[in-house]
């Protein structure tokens, strides 16, 4: 079993889910008393969020490189960022370490294509929805058509993520807002929807929808175990 190196804390609520899911997956695969060989370096999200808000991505890159190098030095065989948004920096980080970085977009795209879908909606922070690092990767590397909510909806999603879900708050009214936004994506032709922020699955559940939802937290965590057990 390879040792998984997690970079977490963005936020710690979703990092907690990563730890739970990977160990459930290891037990599912190996049985008995097996659990995952892993280590985590958890950043202070206050520092990261401030740099995101101020657009200081070079400084954020330095922090993520430092975190990835720490788990590499700790003995990790590969790195997993417990976040979608910070994959904006994935290429720079990968070039600064000597072990693989398991990209959340790639493993999510694989699951989408396994379902035979071509056109998907994308929910996440405004960075994930609006910038090229995620959408363009899905389109150019994996041949998927990606649609995003309208500008006002994107701002609402971003606000709910940072003011509520990253703070551990789950509100019924916000759940209803997400339901309406997903309905609008379906009306635009979405065959499935990517929950492209690791906090969204804390609020949005597959059992509430007929359309396939792609929970990136679960997909990424389980893919990490599959990679570790190859």
125 and 62: one domain?
A: no
**How far apart are alpha carbons 50 and 55 in whole angstroms?**
8
109 and 200: one domain?
A: yes
97 and 115: one domain?
A: no
Angle at 169 between CA 198 and CA 64, to 5 degrees: 35
Domain count, the chain: 2
pLDDT at 29: 97
What CATH number does residue 187 fall under?
3.40.50.1860
59 and 113: one domain?
A: no
**How far apart are alpha carbons 229 and 35 in whole angstroms?**
12
Which residue is catalytic, options 83, 85, 125, 216? 83
Domain that holds residue 125: 105-215
CB 225 within 8 A of CB 26: yes
8 and 48: one domain?
A: yes
127 and 195: one domain?
A: yes
170 and 201: one domain?
A: yes
95 and 147: one domain?
A: no
Tell me if residue 83 is catalytic: yes
One digit per residue, pLDDT tens: the chain, 230 residues?
999 999 999 989 889 999 999 999 999 999 999 999 999 999 999 999 999 999 999 999 999 999 999 999 999 999 999 999 999 999 999 999 999 999 999 999 999 999 999 999 999 999 999 988 999 999 999 999 999 999 999 999 999 999 998 888 999 999 999 999 999 999 999 999 999 988 898 899 999 999 999 999 999 999 999 999 99
- Residues 6+ away with beta carbon under 8 Å from 148: 121, 122, 129, 130, 135, 154
Specify whether the backbone of 55 is left (phi greater than 0), alpha (psi in -120 to 50) or beta. Answer: left
pLDDT at 98: 98
pLDDT at 212: 97
11 and 78: one domain?
A: yes
Q: What is the pTM of this model?
A: 0.91
Tell me if residue 197 is catalytic: yes
Which residue is catalytic, options 38, 82, 166, 197? 197
28 and 84: one domain?
A: yes
């Amino acid at each position: 079993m390879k040792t998984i190196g997690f970079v977490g804390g963005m936020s710690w609520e979703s990092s907690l889910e990563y730890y739970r899911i990977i160990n459930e997956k290891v037990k599912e695969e190996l049985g008995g008393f097996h659990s995952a060989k892993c280590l985590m370096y958890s950043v202070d999200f206050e520092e990261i969020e401030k740099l995101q808000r101020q657009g200081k991505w070079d400084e954020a890159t330095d922090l993520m490189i430092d975190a990835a190098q720490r788990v590499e030095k700790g003995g990790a065989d590969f790195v997993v960022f417990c976040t979608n948004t910070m994959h904006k920096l994935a290429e720079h980080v990968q070039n600064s370490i000597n072990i693989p970085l398991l990209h959340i977009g790639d493993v999510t795209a694989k699951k989408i294509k396994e379902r035979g879908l071509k056109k998907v909606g994308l929910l996440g922070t405004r960075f994930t929805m609006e910038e090229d690092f995620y959408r363009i990767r899905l389109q150019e590397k994996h041949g998927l058509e990606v649609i995003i909510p309208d500008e006002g909806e994107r701002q609402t999603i971003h606000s709910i993520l940072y003011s509520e879900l990253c703070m551990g708050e789950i509100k019924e009214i916000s759940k209803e807002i997400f339901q309406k936004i997903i309905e609008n994506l379906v009306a635009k032709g979405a065959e499935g929807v990517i929950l492209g922020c690791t906090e969204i699955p804390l609020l949005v559940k597959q059992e509430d929808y007929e359309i396939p939802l792609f929970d990136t937290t679960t997909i990424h965590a389980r893919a990490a175990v599959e990679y570790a057990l190859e």
